[in-house]
């Protein structure tokens, strides 16, 4: 069974995830947790890392079961079929979520725009990506290749190595 990607109704990712779980399906919504300040209090909130997407692990026979969950719109399509996500990519998303690595920022000067990189150790080991911009901090855009989606992740430069197998 592969992980597939679902389009879901706006702002319903967590509810759809729960409905899929209630149907007995393995599903996942990567969340980022942040503190938000209101005039009278500070609150920790969890929001989806990728708006409008829910990942679900289903067999071909179970494919249509997901539409029983209210809020599921369709499967994300890629190269003429359902987008498929590898386990290593889901593991990387879970690591990003657990460690709180999801940020937006800038790049160090040692890597240049367009450089292909591989993460050589740590929770993202084996994930590949490319440098999309260069600025002041160690922030790298990691591409989930099977669906063409990019995340901006802050990782130490020492865990990256240039990928010469372009």
C-beta separation of 118 from 163 below 8 A: yes
- 64: CATH: 3.30.70.940
Who wins on pLDDT, 60 or 112? Answer: 60
Q: What integer pLDDT is reported at residue 123 of this predicted model?
A: 66
Domain final position from 45, 65, 85 = 85
C-beta separation of 76 from 66 below 8 A: no
- Considering the domain architecture, whether residues 121 and 79 belong to the same structural domain is answered as no
Question: 31-76: per-residue pLDDT in tens?
Answer: 988 888 888 999 989 989 888 999 999 999 999 999 999 999 999 9
- Considering the domain architecture, whether residues 10 and 73 belong to the same structural domain is answered as yes
Domain assignment of residue 100, yes or no: no
Domain assignment of residue 103, yes or no: no
- Considering the domain architecture, whether residues 120 and 51 belong to the same structural domain is answered as no
Domain assignment of residue 107, yes or no: no
Tokens of 132: 């999309």
Q: How many domains does the chain have?
A: 2
Domain that holds residue 140: 116-162
Who wins on pLDDT, 141 or 92? Answer: 92
The answer, as to whether pTM is greater than 0.85, is: no
Domain final position from 43, 64, 85 = 85
- DSSP state string for the chain: -EEEEEEE-TT-HHHHHHHHHHTT-EEE--EEEEEEE-SS-EEEEEEESSTTEEEEEE-TTTGGGGGGSTTEEEEPEETTEE-EE-HHHHHHHHHHHHHT-B------TTSPTT-EEEE-SSTTTT-EEE-----SS-EEEEEETTTTEEEEEE--GGGEEE----
């Amino acid at each position: 069974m592969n992980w597939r990607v679902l389009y879901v109704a706006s702002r319903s990712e967590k509810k759809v995830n729960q409905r899929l779980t209630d149907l007995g399906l393995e599903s996942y919504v990567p969340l980022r947790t942040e503190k938000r300040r209101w005039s009278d209090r500070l609150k920790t909130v969890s929001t989806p890392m990728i708006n409008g997407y829910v990942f679900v692990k289903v067999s071909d026979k179970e494919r249509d079961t997901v539409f029983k969950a209210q809020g599921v719109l369709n499967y994300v399509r890629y190269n003429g079929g359902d987008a498929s996500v590898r386990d290593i990519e889901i593991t990387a998303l879970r690591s990003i979520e657990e460690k709180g690595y999801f940020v937006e920022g800038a790049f160090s000067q040692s890597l240049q725009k367009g450089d292909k990189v591989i993460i050589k150790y740590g929770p993202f080991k084996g994930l590949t990506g490319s440098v999309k911009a260069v600025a002041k901090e160690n922030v790298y855009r990691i591409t989930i290749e099977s669906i063409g989606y990019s995340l901006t992740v802050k990782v130490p430069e020492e865990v990256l190595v240039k990928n010469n197998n372009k």
